[in-house]
Structure 1
Amino acid sequence: MTSWRTKVLPPVLAIVFSLLICSVALLISGSDPLQAYGTMIKQLGQGTTAVDTVNLATVYYLSGLAVAIGFQMNLFNIGVEGQYRFAAVVAAIVGGAVHLPAVIHVVVILLVAVLGGVAYAAIPAILKVTRGVSEVISTIMLNAIVGGIVAFLINPDQFGVLTGNNLRTQIIDPTGRIPGIPIGDATLFGFVIIAAAIGFGYWFMLNRSRFGFDLKASGESSTAAAAGGVNAKKMTLIAMLLSGGVAGLVAMPELLGRDYSYAITSTQGYGFTGIAVALLGRNNPGGIALGALLWAFLDKSAVSLETVNVPKEIATIMQGAIVLSVVIAYEVVKRADLAAAQRRVGRAFGNGKPASVAEGGAV
């Protein structure tokens, strides 16, 4: 059984370790670490930073969930980046082209986004189960291809509209938008509720369904799962498609809650951030949420460092240190738990408990 130390200590150790590394870097550069960290925390209470942080964390959370589904099967779906961008541009094109009643319009856009993510994830999934092609290689190549697909689709000769110096899709009607939640001068994405529901669904699937058990069993050992009647190839295919489906929703909070169209200059990199967030959250929906909030906080508050003559890149160093240290921290705590378990077994043998059990069994 997993102890609380295995769940809580690793991310805490990773964050502390990254703070120490950044503190050393700040001291070497002649800056005060306490002043830098205080400025970042203070920034959270300035203007709309807090709400902006939650909005960005919503996007990171969806990306982290998409990656985590693949991790459950020991699949490294590095293609979330390509899957969400492909889904976003297709959903934006359809959303801008159709004119439907409220709610129905939103549902259609979300369905197209999910199907777009599934379709783009299906390529590496099929290659994996039929030809044994590494999902890492195939998804990296698809990430590179998606840039060309987006550029082609947003071209004015296809579905794009030239607005100033920027190319974008048609603006989505108000009926296809998800209303935000006003908080002071800021607006919280309404999609945060949908993201929370997706996180709950992920938790329920893993912990309260037969499919979730089969998924985790196949990830632990495909041979053992096959002996129990689980088709490992089928589970691999389903896991990749589910991961792609969730990835298709990554850009939806911004598309339906702020931008209402997809531009050639739309933010990239959410898929790669999701890998770090999933690692930090250890594939647990609650942990991924905390990891997403931490990552978004570091992104949004980094700008404030320039007011105290500290390079904002220090936040990037902190993020990198977290990613590197989280793996080490989990391994250290895991080995500590294993050593503790071995000591308990040793004490049990020393007290003669196995002998009494053996006698009982013999009788």
Structure 2
Amino acid sequence: MNAPASYRSPWTDADLDLYRETVRRFVAEEIAPHQQRFARQQHVDRAVWDKAGALGLLLADIPEDYGGAGGSFAHVAVLMEELARAGDYGFGVSVHQIAANYILHQGTEEQKRRCLPRMARGDWIGAIAMTEPNAGSDLQAIRTRATLEGDHYRIDGSKIFISNGSMADLIVVVTKTDPAAGSKGVSLLLLETRDAAGFSVGRVLDKLGQHAADTSELFFDGVRVPADNVLGGHEGLGFYHLMHELPYERTLCAVSAIASTEAALRMTLDHTRERRAFGKTLLELQNTRFKLAEVKTQATVGRRFVDDCIARVVAGTMDADTAAMAKLWTTETLGRAVDDCLQLFGGYGYMTEYPIARLYADARVQRIYGGASEIMKEIVARSLERNGA
């Protein structure tokens, strides 16, 4: 855990401590030494997925009956924390987890047994194709169309900013099956990409940060998908599926954001203890101490909030409003904290060879993906109308 040693997250235990050791060793051996190469090639090696699957790190919260490790969301939180601790934002395991949970909670029994074991082993990498060039947070504005033709759907359209897009073997595609029905005309289709005629991957996109993350354009030109691959077995449930699973996704975002804030604090403390100015270490200067006192306070408050969110997901009591608040607060806090921390590195903070510079670039998108901050505010505002303060 990245929080102060005097504090222990209430959701953790001895078994999770052992699991964390396994995760930390995996990240140290398989990811951290190769980050620059992964960034140049714009994806993490396929072999990393295979090794993670062999260790049981993929789909840790999926029941053993479906090939998962049989753990809880706490195991997933440990993985996300350790990746953030190492400064990795390229290994697309969070999206893989989210796609698997769509199938676990919303899929038919046949869909679960066909897809989840392959995803747990790393044989299939999962993705979710939601965002479109002209439809970001407004899911009802999507134009990708799935038309039922006999025993298959024909998918036509395009998606953009899709994590794991170029490497995905299984994509949960958000489509319109009945454009006239509004939110009730949205369906999710499971597309197996290997040898899928009419499916193509466009550019792997050049981003401000998270350079090792495979983020791509996708195109669907008459792609045929079996009718049995509509998630849950029925049309028109897509919007319900999305709303049901978004709290899981947004809590994952919050876990990553608070762990990143803790990582920024830790690396800045190390730097300011060693760097000297005006005959003192930077940490002895009042401005430095006050800035880091603010960051530590933000990290401590955020850690308690996120720990409560993790416990609620584990217990099955997490709600959309709280998840939106967690995502909003932690990602906005991370942006401010990493900016303050980078400033204390001076010119070195602007050099990409320093982890704080890479974290600064990597952190920016966290206020956008998973639902932009503005959307999170709207969700919280609506909760005020329903429930009051």
The interval holding the TM-score normalised by the smaller chain is under 0.3
Larger Rg: 1
TM-score (norm 1): 0.25
| Relative contact order, higher structure (CA 8 A, sep 6+) | 1
Identify the structure with the greater strand proportion.
Answer: 2
TM-score (norm 2): 0.23
